[in-house]
Chains A and B, each alone.
Chain A
């Protein structure tokens, strides 16, 4: 049977098991919307296309599935660019369908025409301009395959209007093979053997895990490795949740705002086992001073990650799950007890670092401390909630004080650092996990960057809870100004902020406020008892700093303990 391009898109989505998509209609994409209405796929109408991509991204992170987003041509397409770039930096499988002017008009500067394939070439894993309706099924099949395989990433498919209305026979490919694209899943056994030898010899090893552990679903393999050889574990921001946050071997996050003891452990270890992490500058600081005494094992599915920023001794290209699985088999033979004993001096040393500079704050009786809010959200939700964050201080406090117990629970724009990411991403996560509590830990600055999605949570009654740590400043930049610019707060005081409670009410959403420390817990409990979305405005101490901190360009053991 011959069906139209638009019908092919919808049918293909159904075949790929897509049940929810996020989008915004427009002239060029109306054909798909017309078909979508008759399909079982649930469409979430956003209020800005940027929101749609972040929702697809949050959906993908919370569910482990591919997130899908649908927008029109021109401005609809350009509005997705920030979200695509964020998904690209964090290796999140997202597919963005954009409308395009009809093929005969491409290049004519037609109304709402933009070369979105050209614009997004450097920030997608791959992208397509579909010129013939006959190509559509294969392109969509490839897009899903590319998005979720290897190192995952966003794919954009540009759909000219005539391609959507033209008809062809539809047959969705069952299998896919691409001669140019064959990611290496199986780690080389000889490299694994080498790694195992070094791991068994090491006296002061540290595991440094990243988002790759989460995307490859290998947190149980990671835990097995750490526990069987008693190796302490730190993760990147992206890796939070890959290792239980209250585990005795847990060091907390490393890097610029990581814990003192995690950074000291990396600075003094004799073996660093990097798993699915990419030695980002916020993790390494000054590269020469990063793990200077250590041999480095680097496991990553993307060969370009290896030796990009640091030299490594044992590169292992492969899926973390496979590599860790093989490693576990090799090192299993020796008993746990022995290791615990052998590791004692190293663990004692780490404990000492932890005791001298713990992660701490002083709540006091007056202002609410933002860290206190995060801690209480953690306690109230028992570490089981999905936490999305915006970007800035709110993000770092969430990372430090919410002790993530399981993967796919921390949803944050790590690489690109997108303000305005958290709220839409939380919406996507809530769609993916209707039964989990989803919090967006926000700042008063970044929440206003995608605040329009209040209408989306209201319309769909998605019970996302937004905790605004309201300090009236762009706090992270203010902190930098306080520490390095002699307190010249250039343009970081947010004069003109709205009354967030009234704003919530204007959208028909419950708005709550806490101004004193003793109000924090009751307000969180009240928010959780409400079955719909809630905004909580926590008036927090305006000049609180994220601590500790490594100034940009310094070594990770040279922390400022503000």
Chain B
């Protein structure tokens, strides 16, 4: 079968906000040998509905199976694969980094450049809150790792499709 290249996909699913639904979704992934790279779940405006955002990896055929299998679950309302569409993706991370007299100024400069926040300070550590896409968080971690990261906590990606921008400009372009 020709299935194209393996690629990262951000998939968002609206599901019934009921006990056991997450387990149905994750069970589907483990049972069929699909991989979950990150997973994020929370209630939507409608308390009866939750949004699951998950990042997975696979070729076209695997991703097609993943979306079809998700749709087949009775508790899944809607599935969207954001890859190859216009979408906003964000992740938050808390990073506890060693902050000694010699490095504090540099850490604060980095925090400033990356537009993050220091949310906790102790004699030895700063805890930094950062929001961004995967690339930004990776870039920040690459810089901070040399200064000594004690621990990190990441939320995993959440995503949303960009609204259609149908201004006069766009129409003219067509």
Q: Is B115 in contact with chain A by the CB < 8 A criterion?
A: no
On whether the beta carbons of A311 and B2 are closer than 8 Å, the reply is yes
A304 to B34 Cα, complex, angstroms: 14
Interface residues of A in 143-171 (CB under 8 A from B): 146
On whether the beta carbons of A287 and B1 are closer than 8 Å, the reply is yes
Task: Quote the shortest CB–CB distance from B22 to chain A (angstroms).
Answer: 11
Q: Is B65 in contact with chain A by the CB < 8 A criterion?
A: yes
Q: Please give me the residue from chain A that is nearest to B23 by CB atom.
A: A121
The answer to whether A180 and B23 touch (CB under 8 A), given A303-B68, A308-B65, is no
Residue contacts A-B, CB under 8 angstroms, 7 given: A117-B20, A121-B23, A126-B74, A129-B20, A303-B71, A308-B65, A311-B1
On whether the beta carbons of A180 and B27 are closer than 8 Å, the reply is no
Q: Please give me the residue from chain B that is nearest to A155 by CB atom.
A: B74
On whether the beta carbons of B23 and A307 are closer than 8 Å, the reply is no
On whether the beta carbons of A310 and B74 are closer than 8 Å, the reply is no
A308 to B23 Cα, complex, angstroms: 23
Q: Is B72 in contact with chain A by the CB < 8 A criterion?
A: yes
A408 to B7 Cα, complex, angstroms: 44
Q: How many residues of B contact A (CB 8 A)?
A: 20
Contact digits for B62-100, partner A, Cβ 8 Å, 1 yes 0 no: 001100110110111100000000000000000000000
Q: Is A118 in contact with chain B by the CB < 8 A criterion?
A: yes
On whether the beta carbons of A122 and B68 are closer than 8 Å, the reply is no
Q: Is B16 in contact with chain A by the CB < 8 A criterion?
A: yes
Q: Please give me the residue from chain A that is nearest to B15 by CB atom.
A: A180
Q: Please give me the residue from chain A that is nearest to B1 by CB atom.
A: A311
Q: Which of B2, B20, B64, B74 has the most CB of A within 10 A?
A: B74
Contact digits for A120-136, partner B, Cβ 8 Å, 1 yes 0 no: 01100110010000000
Q: Is B31 in contact with chain A by the CB < 8 A criterion?
A: yes
A117 to B20 Cα, complex, angstroms: 9
Task: Quote the shortest CB–CB distance from B70 to chain A (angstroms).
Answer: 10
Q: Pick the 7 closest A-B CB pairs, nearest first.
A: A304-B68, A126-B74, A122-B31, A303-B68, A311-B1, A180-B77, A181-B74
Q: Is B24 in contact with chain A by the CB < 8 A criterion?
A: yes
Q: Is A179 in contact with chain B by the CB < 8 A criterion?
A: yes
On whether the beta carbons of A180 and B1 are closer than 8 Å, the reply is no
On whether the beta carbons of B27 and A304 are closer than 8 Å, the reply is no
Q: Is A562 in contact with chain B by the CB < 8 A criterion?
A: no
A503 to B28 Cα, complex, angstroms: 45
Q: Is A490 in contact with chain B by the CB < 8 A criterion?
A: no
A179 to B48 Cα, complex, angstroms: 13
Residues in A with CB closer than 8 Å to B24 are 121
On whether the beta carbons of B72 and A146 are closer than 8 Å, the reply is no
The answer to whether A304 and B69 touch (CB under 8 A), given A117-B20, A126-B74, is yes
Contact digits for A276-303, partner B, Cβ 8 Å, 1 yes 0 no: 0000000000010000000000000011
On whether the beta carbons of A146 and B74 are closer than 8 Å, the reply is yes
Q: Is A178 in contact with chain B by the CB < 8 A criterion?
A: yes
Task: Quote the shortest CB–CB distance from B25 to chain A (angstroms).
Answer: 10
Residues in A with CB closer than 8 Å to B71 are 303
Q: Please give me the residue from chain B that is nearest to A310 by CB atom.
A: B1
On whether the beta carbons of B77 and A179 are closer than 8 Å, the reply is yes
Residues in A with CB closer than 8 Å to B68 are 303-304
On whether the beta carbons of B20 and A121 are closer than 8 Å, the reply is yes
Q: Is B35 in contact with chain A by the CB < 8 A criterion?
A: no
Q: Which of A118, A180, A308 has the most CB of B within 10 A?
A: A180
Q: Which of A178, A287, A302, A308 contacts B74 (CB 8 A)?
A: A178
Interface residues of A in 179-199 (CB under 8 A from B): 179-181
Residues in B with CB closer than 8 Å to A129 are 20
Task: Quote the shortest CB–CB distance from B37 to chain A (angstroms).
Answer: 22
Residues in A with CB closer than 8 Å to B27 are 121-122
| 13 further contact pairs, Cβ within 8 A, besides A121-B23, A180-B74 | A121-B24, A125-B74, A178-B74, A180-B76, A181-B74, A303-B71, A304-B65, A304-B68, A304-B69, A307-B61, A307-B64, A307-B65, A308-B65
Q: Which of B1, B2, B20, B72 contacts A302 (CB 8 A)?
A: B72
Residues in A with CB closer than 8 Å to B23 are 118, 121
Residues in B with CB closer than 8 Å to A146 are 74
Task: Quote the shortest CB–CB distance from B71 to chain A (angstroms).
Answer: 7
Contact digits for B124-138, partner A, Cβ 8 Å, 1 yes 0 no: 000000000000000
A126 to B24 Cα, complex, angstroms: 10
A204 to B61 Cα, complex, angstroms: 29
Q: Please give me the residue from chain A that is nearest to B3 by CB atom.
A: A311
A544 to B74 Cα, complex, angstroms: 46
Q: Please give me the residue from chain A that is nearest to B24 by CB atom.
A: A121
Q: Please give me the residue from chain A that is nearest to B64 by CB atom.
A: A307
Task: Quote the shortest CB–CB distance from B152 to chain A (angstroms).
Answer: 32
